[in-house]
């Protein structure tokens, strides 16, 4: 029968469901302290992938472990339902191309489609979650589009506003021209790609020095029409040089930074030599000497076109001169804003902000040459234009990281826009302080990726000019040029009201409000309490990352309900969260941001940030590459346990995983199957044998079992050591090494040594007592292992626990049996029975065995061939007087005796001489092994009795005839004879075949025919 783990897992899933084991495991801990876990909400509008499997198993293991440690671990599921990802899918489905299309289609209809679309793959998510064994409360999830959830988010926004941290500003922000909305810096951080594009060095001719050009370098030629100034760093060195006969560049005088000039020294030298180019430095000066100079614009509009001072200008890249387009650069905008304040007081002309590009990322009609063209597409044409006009100094292919929209992959533009911001820079110190209290796994993220992120923090651009999201609860007065206004600059009433609850809005508007989404909410208006005008909502919705970051509060509808959950810290902060590394600047950040803004401190204590799951070549998985791995396929083929074990043991959670199916297969074969075979061994030899003495009181929880056998004592000592080690590691979230400890124990200690060396006691016990001792020990080991492995491989653990413990209960009625291993308590180590002395001695014995087996292999003698003696150097090992250990060694290496002596070359010395008597024993061993294999092939049960016939050379026949009784004793053979004539011969294809199996083998180079039959 072939073992089918996926099928076995199905059975266990059914059992868990029917008996409500998950619910029971939580209820059983109701009175204890809570261990708080937060589920990062996925979006169900896409199918889950293999990386979701990774996250889910790492979430599950800690929750299961803590439950067994006595904590109550609520695991509320959550769904992220708003935002661009959803809108984009619906746009695609409906064939809508831009915002105009959506508005034509109708916002109400569009949002309805969005709401439906977020559940498209819900059943897939639930199915995968269940199959992988991730216990999650999916019956009562939080859903970010529900009114209760939105109401909490509104309440949070209002708190932020009251603290003076919400503001609207005209700023240059990352903007997706396809989606028509601004993005926050953490969204931008999701979408960087390394690209190669043309960078150009452009010539700006000085007005009062014709033929002299300032050089400026840029990677975004499309921003050049919006240029209004050139910025230099006043403190750094520049120089003017003349060029003559230089290949590819027209003669003239040029100004650049000293460093830039020196970077080209080598090239200049070559060109002097080859082409007779003449390059001369004419002048040297500081940047401040250039400030105020006027230049001829490349694309003239109405602007001063002057050289200005900018402290931000560096000499790292380019010419030390930055072309300033305030509409498309953050630094550019800042420097121009400051400059214009000065210009105002000095009554000088201000620098305009030339917004040459519309919201779709296309040139406006003012830029005649490329009007209506997407700016990135216009880049090559602009370069061509400059070349023709002799304004291009140089052009190069330049590799750099450029941000793309994390959803639609359109290159982002930095674009001047009015947006709503949260002043994160104001709470930066508190964010950094709170981050100090978080246990990051891997630890380097705290100061690295995440710490650096906090250091370079920017204000949170929180508004989105979109449709499907939590509406920004900001209402503003429509009154413009109100009569009371006497201040010149005040153009409207400026009244702003931020709504923090549904009731508040109902009171102000006098309307019953049941739908909080656009467009319905846009129609809710009320009277301005300052001027009596009309208050209307701003059109924006909120960044969906704000939704998910609000979940600690919003999942419980705080503060409108169950306030204690947060205020009394029952469900705040989380003890543990875990998601992929891409959430470091995503959910991990927004959780911290919102909690800190509200003054609640760090929202989680420990976070595991998981490495990417890549394909086996280390490439990102993507549909276009066709290297995506289907999680159902993997679970269906190898089982959930093997898949889980793979993720826990392949490397540290924070490392990238080069996923290969072979590695999952390996975890199945290496660990799961070995563990399973240990259990099958127990089931075969220990469980089935009923002896009258079995109702002896044994409490498996008390590990102080007093078996007289050395091996039993040893495995129990090792077991307690294992419990201690695994507990310590799991408490430190060291999942990998805890798992490897279990694996090593199962493979090396239990399977390759304990069971191997105990076979005789199980298969041919001298008496009932001996079997009982062995069976009790193995039952105890397996039961304890089932508990230790329960959080890791919940299915096989359950199966073993249930089978082994039912045996245990027959042994001792007073032991209360749990229905499931997942309702059990985590085992406790009894340090008193960890016998380090014994473990050291056993280690030595195993070392001796390994060395001896090496010598056998070198001499080419099979293990079944008995040898006469093994000598051990006695000064080296301390096991001389230990009879039991020596017996173990003798058995394992198959020698008659073990002797100790000082005069041995190495540590051990094996007598490799094979006497005729030893040879005879060797032949017998081989025959017995062959018969056993034939029994297996025939599918006999261990208790089945058989008869054996043989026929070989005279030499072999003699040996077998002579040792008939030995064979009868060693095996369940009733009848063992040389074949006696035609009666037992098989007639090929005939009906009178007498044997079940027959075969011809070679022993010592001689032929032997063997046949068996059940009787």
Candidates 154, 587, 676, 714; catalytic one: 587
Instruction: Check: CB of residue 257 under 8 Å from CB of residue 238.
Output: yes
Candidates 18, 365, 486, 623; catalytic one: 623
Count of residues of this chain found to bind Zn ion when the rule CB under 5 A is applied = 14
Instruction: Check: CB of residue 673 under 8 Å from CB of residue 704.
Output: no
Residue range at the interface with Zn ion (CB under 5 A); choices 175-183, 301-309, 923-931, 955-963: 175-183
Q: Which is nearer to Zn ion, 188 or 315 (CB)?
A: 188
- Is 587 known to be catalytic? yes
Of the candidates 59, 113, 158, 178, which one interacts with Zn ion according to CB under 5 A?
178
CA dihedral 368, 369, 370, 371 (to 10 degrees): 20
> What's the min distance (Å) between Cβ of 527 and Zn ion?
9
Q: Within 13 A of 406's CA, how many CA atoms are on the CB side?
A: 22
Q: Which is nearer to Zn ion, 91 or 783 (CB)?
A: 91
836-859 and 710-731 helices cross at what angle (nearest 10)? 110
Of the candidates 378, 493, 686, 1010, which one interacts with Zn ion according to CB under 5 A?
493
Q: Does 361 bind Zn ion (CB under 5 A)?
A: no
Kindly state the tokens that stand for 539.
């059109």
Q: Which is nearer to Zn ion, 405 or 424 (CB)?
A: 405
Report DSSP state, residue 465: S
Candidates 92, 280, 433, 620; catalytic one: 620
Q: Does 408 bind Zn ion (CB under 5 A)?
A: yes
Q: Which residue, 401, 411, 412, 378, is CA-closest to 196?
A: 401
Contact flags string 867-906 toward Zn ion, x per CB under 5 A: ----------------------------------------
Residues 467-486 that bind Zn ion (CB under 5 A): 477, 479
Kindly state the tokens that stand for 284.
């040297």
> What's the min distance (Å) between Cβ of 477 and Zn ion?
3
Report DSSP state, residue 686: I
Kindly state the tokens that stand for 537.
């909502």
Candidates 16, 41, 42, 979; catalytic one: 41
> What's the min distance (Å) between Cβ of 89 and Zn ion?
13
Type and span of the H or E element at 737 = helix 735-744
> What's the min distance (Å) between Cβ of 412 and Zn ion?
8
Task: Quote the CA–CA distance of 947 and 968 in Å, as a whole number.
Answer: 10
Task: Quote the CA–CA distance of 596 and 581 in Å, as a whole number.
Answer: 21
> What's the min distance (Å) between Cβ of 342 and Zn ion?
33
> What's the min distance (Å) between Cβ of 403 and Zn ion?
11
> What's the min distance (Å) between Cβ of 357 and Zn ion?
16
Contact flags string 783-802 toward Zn ion, x per CB under 5 A: --------------------
Kindly state the tokens that stand for 690.
């009923």
Residue range at the interface with Zn ion (CB under 5 A); choices 116-124, 354-362, 468-476, 492-500: 492-500
H helical segments located in 768-793: 768-789
Look at strands 166-176 and 413-422 and give their pairing: antiparallel
- Is 370 known to be catalytic? no
Q: Which is nearer to Zn ion, 258 or 530 (CB)?
A: 530
What are the backbone angles phi and psi of residue 41, rounded to the nearest 5°?
A: -75, 125
Residue range at the interface with Zn ion (CB under 5 A); choices 184-192, 406-414, 743-751, 840-848: 406-414
Q: Which is nearer to Zn ion, 122 or 530 (CB)?
A: 530
DSSP per residue, 109-172: HHHHHHHHHTTTTHHHHHHHHHHTT---EEEEEEETTSHHHHHHHHHHHHHHHHTT-EEEEEEE
Task: Quote the CA–CA distance of 106 and 978 in Å, as a whole number.
Answer: 93
Q: Which is nearer to Zn ion, 408 or 967 (CB)?
A: 408
Residues 659-718 that bind Zn ion (CB under 5 A): none
Q: Which residue, 736, 741, 729, 738, is CA-closest to 646?
A: 736
Residue range at the interface with Zn ion (CB under 5 A); choices 150-158, 491-499, 582-590, 693-701: 491-499
Task: Quote the CA–CA distance of 130 and 794 in Å, as a whole number.
Answer: 12
Residue range at the interface with Zn ion (CB under 5 A); choices 103-111, 244-252, 390-398, 404-412: 404-412
> What's the min distance (Å) between Cβ of 360 and Zn ion?
12
Q: Which is nearer to Zn ion, 374 or 826 (CB)?
A: 374
Q: Does 176 bind Zn ion (CB under 5 A)?
A: yes
Candidates 59, 76, 80, 734; catalytic one: 80
Burial of 628 (0-12, 13-18, 19+ CB in 10 A): middle
Q: Does 528 bind Zn ion (CB under 5 A)?
A: yes
Q: Does 96 bind Zn ion (CB under 5 A)?
A: no
Kindly state the tokens that stand for 84.
């661009």
Candidates 545, 645, 753, 826; catalytic one: 545
Candidates 583, 844, 865, 930; catalytic one: 583
Residue range at the interface with Zn ion (CB under 5 A); choices 236-244, 298-306, 455-463, 528-536: 528-536
Q: Does 182 bind Zn ion (CB under 5 A)?
A: no
Task: Quote the CA–CA distance of 915 and 892 in Å, as a whole number.
Answer: 20
Instruction: Check: CB of residue 94 under 8 Å from CB of residue 71.
Output: no
Type and span of the H or E element at 893 = helix 883-893
Q: Which is nearer to Zn ion, 206 or 493 (CB)?
A: 493
Q: Within 13 A of 35's CA, how many CA atoms are on the CB side?
A: 19
- Is 623 known to be catalytic? yes
Cα 556 to its chain centre, rounded Å, is 27
> What's the min distance (Å) between Cβ of 405 and Zn ion?
3
Q: Which residue, 112, 142, 128, 120, is CA-closest to 59?
A: 128
- Is 80 known to be catalytic? yes
Residue range at the interface with Zn ion (CB under 5 A); choices 135-143, 533-541, 878-886, 927-935: 533-541
Q: Does 497 bind Zn ion (CB under 5 A)?
A: no
> What's the min distance (Å) between Cβ of 312 and Zn ion?
28
Q: Does 495 bind Zn ion (CB under 5 A)?
A: yes
Q: How far is CA 861 from CA 752, 855, 870, in A?
A: 21, 9, 14
Q: Does 533 bind Zn ion (CB under 5 A)?
A: yes
SS3 268: helix
Q: Does 188 bind Zn ion (CB under 5 A)?
A: no
CA angle, 512 as apex, 511 and 515 as ends, to 5°? 115
Q: Which residue, 532, 549, 414, is CA-closest to 477?
A: 532
Residues contacting 920, CB < 8 A, separation 6+: 959, 962, 963
Q: Which is nearer to Zn ion, 320 or 361 (CB)?
A: 361
Residue range at the interface with Zn ion (CB under 5 A); choices 170-178, 359-367, 658-666, 705-713: 170-178
- Is 583 known to be catalytic? yes
Q: Does 179 bind Zn ion (CB under 5 A)?
A: yes
CA angle, 370 as apex, 368 and 372 as ends, to 5°? 100
> What's the min distance (Å) between Cβ of 526 and Zn ion?
11
Type and span of the H or E element at 187 = helix 185-188
Q: Which is nearer to Zn ion, 216 or 528 (CB)?
A: 528
Task: Quote the CA–CA distance of 677 and 76 in Å, as a whole number.
Answer: 37
Q: Which is nearer to Zn ion, 405 or 427 (CB)?
A: 405
SS3 537: strand
Of the candidates 530, 605, 612, 1013, which one interacts with Zn ion according to CB under 5 A?
530
Q: Which is nearer to Zn ion, 84 or 634 (CB)?
A: 84
Neighbours of 696 (CB within 10 A): 10
Q: Which is nearer to Zn ion, 405 or 598 (CB)?
A: 405
> What's the min distance (Å) between Cβ of 102 and Zn ion?
13
> What's the min distance (Å) between Cβ of 90 and Zn ion?
14
Contact residues toward Zn ion (CB under 5 A) are: 176, 178-179, 405, 408, 410, 477, 479, 493, 495, 528, 530-531, 533
Enzyme catalytic residues: 41, 80, 545, 583, 587, 620, 623
């Amino acid at each position: 029968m072939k073992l089918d783990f996926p099928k076995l897992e199905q059975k266990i899933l059914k059992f868990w469901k029917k008996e409500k084991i998950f619910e029971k495991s939580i209820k059983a801990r109701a009175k204890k302290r809570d261990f708080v876990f937060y589920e990062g909400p996925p979006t169900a509008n896409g199918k889950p992938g293999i990386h979701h499997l990774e996250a889910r198993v790492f979430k599950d293991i800690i929750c299961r472990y803590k439950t067994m440690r006595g904590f109550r671990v609520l695991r509320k599921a959550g769904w992220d339902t708003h935002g661009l990802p959803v809108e984009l899918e619906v746009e695609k489905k409906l064939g809508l191309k831009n915002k105009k299309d959506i508005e034509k289609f109708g916002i109400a209809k569009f949002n309805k489609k969005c709401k439906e679309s977020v559940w498209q793959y819900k059943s897939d998510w639930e199915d995968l979650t269940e199959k992988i064994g991730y216990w999650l409360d999916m019956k009562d999830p939080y859903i970010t589009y529900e009114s209760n959830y939105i109401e909490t988010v509104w309440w949070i926004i209002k708190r932020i506003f009251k603290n003076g941290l919400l503001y609207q500003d005209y700023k240059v922000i990352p903007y997706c021209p396809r989606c028509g909305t601004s993005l926050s810096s953490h969204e931008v951080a999701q979408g960087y790609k390394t690209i190669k594009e043309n960078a150009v060095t452009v010539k700006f001719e000085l007005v009062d020095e014709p033929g002299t050009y300032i050089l400026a370098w840029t990677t975004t030629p499309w921003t050049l029409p919006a240029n209004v100034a050139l910025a230099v760093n006043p403190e750094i060195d520049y120089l003017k040089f003349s060029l003559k006969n230089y290949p590819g560049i027209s003669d003239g005088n040029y100004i650049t930074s000293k460093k830039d000039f020196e970077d080209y020294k080598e090239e200049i030298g070559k060109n002097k030599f080859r082409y007779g180019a003449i390059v001369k430095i004419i002048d040297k000066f500081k940047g401040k000497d250039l400030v105020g100079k006027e230049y001829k614009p490349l694309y003239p509009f109405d602007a001063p076109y002057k050289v200005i001072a900018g402290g931000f200008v560096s000499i790292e890249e380019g010419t030390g001169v930055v072309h300033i387009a305030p509409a498309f650069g953050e630094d550019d905008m800042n420097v121009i804003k400051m400059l214009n304040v000065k210009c105002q007081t000095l009554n000088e002309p201000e620098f305009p902000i030339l917004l040459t590009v519309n919201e779709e990322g296309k040139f406006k009609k003012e830029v005649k040459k490329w009007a209506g063209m997407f700016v990135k597409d216009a880049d090559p044409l602009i370069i061509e234009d400059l070349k023709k006009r002799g304004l291009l100094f140089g052009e190069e292919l330049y590799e750099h990281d450029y941000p793309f929209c994390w959803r639609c992959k359109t290159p982002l533009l930095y674009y001047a826009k009015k947006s709503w911001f949260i002043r994160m820079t104001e709470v930066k110190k508190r964010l950094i302080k709170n981050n100090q209290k978080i246990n990051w796994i891997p630890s380097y993220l705290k100061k690295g990726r995440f710490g650096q992120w906090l250091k370079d923090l920017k204000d949170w651009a929180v508004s989105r000019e979109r449709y499907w999201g939590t509406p920004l609860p900001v209402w503003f007065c429509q009154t413009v040029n109100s009569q009371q206004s006497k201040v010149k600059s005040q153009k409207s009433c400026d009244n702003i009201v931020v709504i923090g609850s549904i009731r508040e809005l109902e009171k102000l508007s006098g309307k019953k409000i049941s739908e909080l989404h656009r467009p319905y909410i846009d129609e809710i208006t009320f009277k301005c309490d300052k001027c009596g005008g009309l208050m209307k909502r701003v059109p924006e919705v909120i960044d969906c990352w704000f939704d998910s970051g609000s979940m600690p509060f919003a999942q419980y509808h705080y503060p409108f309900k169950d306030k204690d959950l947060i205020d009394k810290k029952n469900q705040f902060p989380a003890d543990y969260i875990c998601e992929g590394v891409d959430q470091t600047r995503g959910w991990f950040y927004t959780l911290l941001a919102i909690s800190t803004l509200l003054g609640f401190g760090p929202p989680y204590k420990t976070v595991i940030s998981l490495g990417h799951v890549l394909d086996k070549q280390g490439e990102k998985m993507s549909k276009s590459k066709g290297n995506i791995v289907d999680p159902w396929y993997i679970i269906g083929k190898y089982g959930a346990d093997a898949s889980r074990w793979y993720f826990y043991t392949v490397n540290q959670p924070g490392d990238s995983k080069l996923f290969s199916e072979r590695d999952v297969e390996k975890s199945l074969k290496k660990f799961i199957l070995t563990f399973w075979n240990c259990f099958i061994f127990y089931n075969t030899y220990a469980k089935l044998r009923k002896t009258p003495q079995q109702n002896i009181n044994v409490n498996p929880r008390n590990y102080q079992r007093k078996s007289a056998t050395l091996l039993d004592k040893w495995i129990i000592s090792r077991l307690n050591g294992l419990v201690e080690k695994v507990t310590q590691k799991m408490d430190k979230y060291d999942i990998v090494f805890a798992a490897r400890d279990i694996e090593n124990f199962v493979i090396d200690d239990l399977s390759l040594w304990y069971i191997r060396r105990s076979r005789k006691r199980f298969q041919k016990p001298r008496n009932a007592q001996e079997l009982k001792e062995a069976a009790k020990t193995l039952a105890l080991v397996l039961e304890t292992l089932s508990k230790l492995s329960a959080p890791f491989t919940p299915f096989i653990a359950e199966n073993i626990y249930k089978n082994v413990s039912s045996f245990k209960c027959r042994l001792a009625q007073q032991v209360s049996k749990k229905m499931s291993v997942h309702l059990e308590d985590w085992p406790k180590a009894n340090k008193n029975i960890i016998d380090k002395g014994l473990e050291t001695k056993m280690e030595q014995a195993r070392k001796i065995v390994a060395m001896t087996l090496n010598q056998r292999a070198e001499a080419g003698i099979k293990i079944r061939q008995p040898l006469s003696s093994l000598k051990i150097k006695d000064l080296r090992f301390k096991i001389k007087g230990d009879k039991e250990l020596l017996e173990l060694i003798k058995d394992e290496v198959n020698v008659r005796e073990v002797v100790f002596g000082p005069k041995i070359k190495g540590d051990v010395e094996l007598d490799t001489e094979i006497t005729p008597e030893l040879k005879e024993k060797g032949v017998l061993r081989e025959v017995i092994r062959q018969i056993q294999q034939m029994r297996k092939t025939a599918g006999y049960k261990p208790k089945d009795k058989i008869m054996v016939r043989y026929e070989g050379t005279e030499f072999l026949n003699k040996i077998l005839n002579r040792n008939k009784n030995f064979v009868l004793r060693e095996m369940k053979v009733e009848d063992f004879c040389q074949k006696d004539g035609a009666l037992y011969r098989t007639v090929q294809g005939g009906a009178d075949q007498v044997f079940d199996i027959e075969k011809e083998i070679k022993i010592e180079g001689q032929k032997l025919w063997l046949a068996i039959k059940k009787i």
